[in-house]
């Protein structure tokens, strides 16, 4: 069985970009847990209802979330890969992720997906909660300004009208909410290796992680 790699860190640190490349190089499966919280956020957004615990429990009871080999995301059988990438869904994903029953449901699903090994999973609580026995834990971060700049460049390519300032505020508030929530907050596991990517290229971060995988026994 191949290894289990956990990658956590704040928004825009490059977790998914880097994890996808590492997965491809190792022949591993990449699992984007943020996409799963985003799918819950999107289902809730489409309902048009105010966010109450009862209503959220109702819509998540039978929710079906699937990720395929090419990291496409399906919500109740419908492909929503692009739709979950808006700033509105980012905020809602963070909002719904505070609820214990949402976390429990997705955590169970994530553990099942990782059970076969040879996986790299990214999120906020993978090293601390979802896969505490992972073979390798990375905490990937970068300065707030750099993370905002990267996310802004991504959104610009999609013709979004948001400003760099908007993106910086959005990321700051989301990280604060994710770090301060009571259940499974964004945190570095004690045994995670910290990589600050502020001044590193994507290739340099990938290289560092691959070296760590090889040296890990």
What residues line the site for ligand DC (CB under 6 A)? 11, 33-34, 37-38, 90, 93-94, 97, 123-126, 174, 178
In the complex, what is the shortest distance from the CB of residue 123 to ligand DC, in angstroms, rounded to a whole number?
2
In the complex, what is the shortest distance from the CB of residue 35 to ligand DC, in angstroms, rounded to a whole number?
6
CB atoms near residue 174 (< 10 Å): 21
Nearer to ligand DC, 168 or 178 (CB): 178
In the complex, what is the shortest distance from the CB of residue 193 to ligand DC, in angstroms, rounded to a whole number?
18
Contact 119, 4 (CB under 8 A): yes
Nearer to ligand DC, 179 or 211 (CB): 179
Nearer to ligand DC, 10 or 26 (CB): 10
In the complex, what is the shortest distance from the CB of residue 174 to ligand DC, in angstroms, rounded to a whole number?
5
CA-CA-CA-CA torsion sign (111, 104, 6, 85): positive
CB atoms near residue 54 (< 10 Å): 6
Q: How do beta strands 73-75 and 65-67 pair? A: antiparallel
| 74, β-bridge pairs | 66, 79
In the complex, what is the shortest distance from the CB of residue 129 to ligand DC, in angstroms, rounded to a whole number?
8
Nearer to ligand DC, 115 or 211 (CB): 115
CA-CA-CA-CA torsion sign (198, 199, 202, 206): negative
Residue 87 CB partners (closer than 8 Å, separation 6+): 155, 160, 162, 166, 167, 170
Nearer to ligand DC, 125 or 168 (CB): 125
């Amino acid at each position: 069985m191949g290894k289990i790699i956990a990658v956590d860190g704040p928004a825009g640190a490059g977790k998914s970009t880097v994890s996808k490349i590492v997965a491809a190089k190792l022949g591993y499966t990449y699992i984007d847990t943020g996409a799963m919280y985003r799918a819950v956020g999107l289902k809730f957004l489409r309902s048009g209802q105010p966010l109450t615990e009862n209503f959220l429990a109702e819509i998540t009871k039978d929710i079906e979330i699937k990720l395929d080999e090419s990291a496409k995301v399906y919500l109740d059988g419908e492909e929503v890969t692009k739709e979950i990438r808006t700033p509105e869904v980012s905020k809602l994903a963070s909002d719904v992720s505070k609820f214990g029953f949402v976390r429990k449901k997705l955590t169970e699903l994530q553990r099942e997906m990782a059970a076969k090994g040879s996986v790299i999973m990214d999120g906020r609580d993978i090293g601390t909660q979802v896969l505490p026995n992972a073979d390798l834990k990375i905490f990937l971060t970068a300065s707030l300004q750099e993370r905002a700049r990267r996310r802004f460049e991504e959104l610009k390519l999609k013709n979004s009208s948001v400003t760099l300032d908007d993106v910086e505020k959005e990321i700051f508030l989301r990280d604060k909410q994710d770090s301060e929530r009571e259940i499974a907050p964004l945190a570095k596991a004690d045994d995670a290796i910290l990589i600050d990517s502020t001044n590193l290229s994507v290739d340099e971060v990938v290289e560092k992680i691959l070296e760590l995988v090889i040296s890990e026994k």
